[in-house]
Amino acid sequence: MQEIPIVLIGHKDHGKSTLIGRLLLDTKSVRESRLKEVKEVDESIGQKFELAHLVDSFKEERENEMTMDTTRAILKGKERNYQLIDVPGHKELIASMLTGAAGAEAALLLVSIEEGIREQTRQHLEIAKLLGIDQLGVVVNKMDKVGYQKEEFDQITERMKEILDKIGYSSENIHFFPISAWEGDNVVERSRKMPWYKEKTVLEFIEGEIKEPESFQNLPLIFLVQDKYLDECKEILVGPVESGRLKVNQKILILPDRREGEIKTIRDITGESVEAETGQNIGIEICQGKKMLTNISRGNVITTLNSNIKTSRDISGEIFWITAPSGSNLVFECGTASVEGQLVEPKVVNQGEKTYYRILLRKEIAVFPRSRTILGKIVIKDKGKIIAVGSIQ
């Protein structure tokens, strides 16, 4: 069964990990014994027990599989399961959301009623909007700290609505939840302490409102060449099928140089295959007539002959600046392509801002403007570190 990815966003310490812990616990997605173990460890080192430590215990378990500092906990729903994605640290969260490592279609934004709306709250929302994450729930947490008062909740939701509208969400379509992740009010169980709230709990929202991720299966073929290796003199290209599908004998186009070729073989983890679809990691051989095609490498994109995947070196769109450029050479990444270039606009960059951008690359790359695929996004690196991520328009 496919798990629906949901990323938890919001200012540090507003309760992201605690909410995940509470959801797991109250839906019995974790064993009682797990909770007991975590409590015992906390006690043995003289540490106060935190629901967040339950989430941390998953991190250790799955550490080897992870490329980023991301924890994915599985929430067991009635009909479907969900991946709750927790990324500790503001910069890490931004980087993993922006690069698609988090891969989420939906987000829960945590705002602590005690600390209020903060800079990271706004920034995470800007990024969610930039990435086209339209399935959003705003969770007003720590209601226990303000005596579960409706007035406080109403005040913060009014201010949040203004921010949401400014960023481009239509606030009347967004759900707001008054909760205490720590006490478990309105998360899975309806709260008796807030009789004034009659709408959905967080779990009811997740189960009833969040839609399955949009499939890229019907989009044009994008096979990202990640790597290649030699197998008995045959050159095998490996990578993910980001969108569309491909078949043996199909005619294809290699981008950005627009060479034509034909798919000779496809291999997946089970062995040779005649076709592959979105989401699969495969190895392929490409030929041109009787000849094997070589000189294809990381950064190239394979698509169909009539595809509307473009190539360009003049790229623009909207971008979010995690930090301002240092003045050294910038590297621009799209899919697996990585190319040097020049930032034409904006002339002045302020950290934490979203702006229009235009870049001129040294050479063309494959792009799929205004799409939610990886070829619709650009990442800027400065001395190896991600400093900005934007959409391609």
List interacting residues with ligand GDP (CB under 6 A): 12-18, 50, 52, 110, 141-142, 144-145, 180-182
φ, ψ for residue 11, nearest 5 deg: -60, 150
Question: CB of 89: closest distance to ligand GDP in angstroms?
Answer: 9
Q: Which residues pair with 389 in a beta bridge?
A: 320, 379
Question: CB of 13: closest distance to ligand GDP in angstroms?
Answer: 4
Question: CB of 110: closest distance to ligand GDP in angstroms?
Answer: 6
Nearer to ligand GDP, 92 or 144 (CB): 144
Nearer to ligand GDP, 15 or 317 (CB): 15
Nearer to ligand GDP, 145 or 161 (CB): 145
Helix (H, G, I), strand (E, B) or coil at 201: coil
Nearer to ligand GDP, 178 or 299 (CB): 178
Nearer to ligand GDP, 128 or 181 (CB): 181
Question: CB of 84: closest distance to ligand GDP in angstroms?
Answer: 11
- Report the alpha-carbon distance of residue 200 to residue 178 in Å, rounded: 10
Nearer to ligand GDP, 177 or 182 (CB): 182
H/E run at residue 310: strand 310-321
Buried b (16+ CB within 10 A) or exposed e, 28-65: ebbeeeebeebeeeeeeeeeeeebbbbbbbbbeeeeee
Question: CB of 80: closest distance to ligand GDP in angstroms?
Answer: 24
Question: CB of 299: closest distance to ligand GDP in angstroms?
Answer: 36
- 101's CB contacts (< 8 A; 6+ apart) are 67, 68, 70, 95
Helix (H, G, I), strand (E, B) or coil at 159: helix
CA-derived radius of gyration, the chain: 23
